Amino acid sequence: MIHTIKRPDGCNLLLEIDDFTNPWGDAPWLFMIHGFAESRQAWRAWVPHFARDFKVLRLDLRGFGESTAMTEDFPWSMEVIMKDIEAVVRAVCKTPVHLVGAKSGGTFALEFAARFPELVNTVVGVTPPVIAAQGVEDWINSIKADGVLAWARSTMTGRLGSRVSDKEVAWWVNDVQGRTSEPSLLGYLSWIPGLDIRQSLPKIHVPSLVITTTGSGLRSVESVRVWHATIPGSKLHVIEGDAWHAAGAYPDLCSHIVRDFLAPRLNITA
Amino acid sequence: MPFVQVSPHIEVFYDKSDFLDPWGDKPILILQHGNGRSGAFWYRWLPRLSEHFVVIRPDMRGVGRSSKVDDANTDISIEHCVTDLVAIINAESQRAVYFCGESMGGILGIVLASQFPKLIQKLILVATPVFISEAMKVRYSMGHGSRLDAMKKMGIRQWVLETSVLTRFPPDCDPALLNWYVDEFAKGVPEILVRYSELVNSANASVFLPQIGCATLAIMPTQGQITDAEQEHLLSTQVKDITIEHIDSTYHMIHLTHHDDCIDRVLKFLKAN
């Protein structure tokens, strides 16, 4: 089921709900936030793992997917993204959610859990950058020079790992990242180098899990351990793999890890 | 959400759940509901099956999200329901699909597989009668002259509640499931529900059985009140390539009460070469 939520600035946020829970029940919400230059489509393989026990909500962040594209000069900020997520939780879910985010969507999920503990039951960040990755300038130059498609193609093997098939790369390039509006991308990239949520991490008091990979070209496991240790009581799961986008490259494995994390807190099997 | 226009005034709705890798193979499985229900009644089957298939759940014309019909007597027939399925398959697939029907949905599958063999790769019948026995017609009459009389005089909700307790759901089933089933069923337009009951009461799929060319699996309750031994004998002797499996129940709605057991068997059957 597709819904749209109109924000005060005119932006339409699109979200999709997959719900195969008992219709008379009060199933919990699993709220999924995709990463940079993606859309709710990035989560498609996750849905069957959760939709019998959770009402699964996949949001297209503003600027991405089928939500309204942003102009290049749009003043991106953590504040505006937090308010979008808050609006969707309050309007659609109406109860605290289990939040899962991938890549920068994981960063937003962690930040949201720190700011809105009353709206979050648990939070999972899959390969989240808590500090912006190096090389954003190169990405901006690449997109400006050669366009979104070429940029997506040139970065995809690092994102999805060395074992990814050509067909899989083609889908992510042509049907997900390559479809993102260029002004949205460029505006977002001009904001993202300042991203740093390390101050927020100690304020996360809901149960949390971070998933990272051993062979990410963007960050080492040790660098993740340093900031992860500042989240009270948080769990860390390290996957053997060389993708920096574990949620996209290893969706079934990640889904099992997240179910294992959530199962003791809910009346579901792992 | 997808619809197919099957006549100038009738649109048939089907829900399509596709979570498969877009770059991979996408086999289609159609789940067809039975008499008076809708695609919504398959919800328990979705997550597990959608890991392997694009799952399509049609609402028969007149029920669920399909358009209502002007004249139930002329607009609703087995032939119409089958050609509606043909329209959906043609809209969604270039090749044969897997088809699973429960109860009357299986009767449609039998007719479809026999009349349109190129469209169906494998057929699954869940608690599917070949015809409704005289004994069952009497039970569903609930002391009235006929099933249709009972539905009209008792009202749809009361009729479906009493017949569900009697034949569809075991006494130990979750009362919330029974309540939801009754409420959901009773959302239908009474004239349409009565017409479908009339159809299923008079249907007899025996003649189509020998013409089924594809591999077929029937999943039946051990002592079903609607699917009795005589019907299973017909299936096993008339369908060329059929496996009949049983789920331990004397009640009809095994696709809701024993969904995981059914799904295990469906997956095993569809995954086998």
Asked if residue A27 belongs to a domain, the reply is yes
Asked if residue B153 belongs to a domain, the reply is no
The three-state DSSP-derived secondary structure of chain A is CEEEEECCCCCEEEEEEECCCCCCCCCCEEEEECCCCCCHHHHHHHHHHHCCCCEEEEECCCCCCCCCCCCCCCCCCHHHHHHHHHHHHHHHHCCCEEEEEECHHHHHHHHHHHHCHHHEEEEEEECCCCECCCCHHHHHHHHHHHCHHHHHHHHHHHHHCCCCCHHHHHHHHHHHHHHCCHHHHHHHHHHHHHCECCCCHHHCCCCEEEEEECCCCCCCHHHHHHHHCCCCCCEEEEECCCCCCHHHHCHHHHHHHHHHHHHHHCCCCC
DSSP state of B167: I
- pLDDT over 80 at A217, yes or no: no
Integer angstrom CA distances of residue B32 from B13, B40, B93, B125, B217: 12, 10, 16, 10, 15
- Residues B124-162 have pLDDT tens digits of 999 999 998 888 888 889 999 988 899 889 999 999 999
Asked if residue A269 belongs to a domain, the reply is no
- Determine contact, residues B250/B170, Cβ cutoff 8 Å: yes
- Residues A159-214 have pLDDT tens digits of 888 888 999 999 999 998 888 999 999 999 889 888 999 999 999 999 999 999 99
- Beta-carbon separation of A168 and B44 below 8 A: no
Q: How many contacts, defined by CB atoms under 8 Å, are there between A and B?
A: 54
- Determine contact, residues A5/A87, Cβ cutoff 8 Å: yes
Asked if residue B148 belongs to a domain, the reply is no
Q: Closest by alpha carbon to B234, among B81, B128, B79?
A: B128
- Nearest by CB: A23 against B50, B51, B180: B180
Q: Closest by alpha carbon to A99, among A38, A57, A66?
A: A57
Give the whole-angstrom CA distance, residue A226 versus residue A228: 6
Question: What pLDDT score does A136 carry?
Answer: 80
Q: What is the CATH number of the domain that holds B257?
A: 3.40.50.1820
Q: Can you tell me the ipTM of this complex?
A: 0.92
Confidence class for position A139, pLDDT limits 50, 70, 90: confident
Asked if residue B175 belongs to a domain, the reply is no
- pLDDT over 80 at A100, yes or no: yes
Of the residues B1, B15, B23, the best mutation for testing chain A's interface (the one with the most A CB atoms within 10 Å of its CB) is B23
- Residues A23-64 have pLDDT tens digits of 998 999 999 999 989 999 999 999 999 999 999 999 999 999
* Closest chain A C-alpha to B258 CA, distance in angstroms: 14
Asked if residue A150 belongs to a domain, the reply is yes
Partners of residue A268 in chain B, C-beta under 8 Å = none
- What is the token pair recorded at A164? 């990814």
Asked if residue B92 belongs to a domain, the reply is yes
Rounded to the nearest integer, the mean pLDDT of chain B is: 95
Average pLDDT of the segment spanning B192-207: 92
Question: What pLDDT score does A244 carry?
Answer: 85
Asked if residue A270 belongs to a domain, the reply is no
- Determine contact, residues A206/A114, Cβ cutoff 8 Å: no
- Beta-carbon separation of A168 and B180 below 8 A: no
Q: Closest by alpha carbon to B26, among B1, B70, B56?
A: B56
Asked if residue A57 belongs to a domain, the reply is yes
Domain that includes residue A119, residue range: 2-263
> CB within 8 A of B270, min separation 6: which ones?
B29, B52, B53, B98, B122, B124
- pLDDT over 90 at B48, yes or no: yes
Q: Does A170 touch chain B (CB under 8 A)?
A: yes
Confidence class for position B186, pLDDT limits 50, 70, 90: very high
Average pLDDT of the segment spanning A83-87: 98
Asked if residue A71 belongs to a domain, the reply is yes
Exposure string for B238-252, b = 16+ CB within 10 A, e = fewer: bbeebebeebebebb
- Determine contact, residues B82/B115, Cβ cutoff 8 Å: yes
SS3 B231: helix
Average pLDDT of the segment spanning A244-264: 95
Give the whole-angstrom CA distance, residue B202 versus residue B133: 10
Our count of domains for chain B comes to 1
* Closest chain A C-alpha to B174 CA, distance in angstroms: 11
Asked if residue B155 belongs to a domain, the reply is no
Q: Does A20 touch chain B (CB under 8 A)?
A: yes
Asked if residue A100 belongs to a domain, the reply is yes
Q: What is the CATH number of the domain that holds A97?
A: 3.40.50.1820
Our count of domains for chain A comes to 1
- Beta-carbon separation of B47 and A48 below 8 A: yes
Domain that includes residue B248, residue range: 3-131+204-271
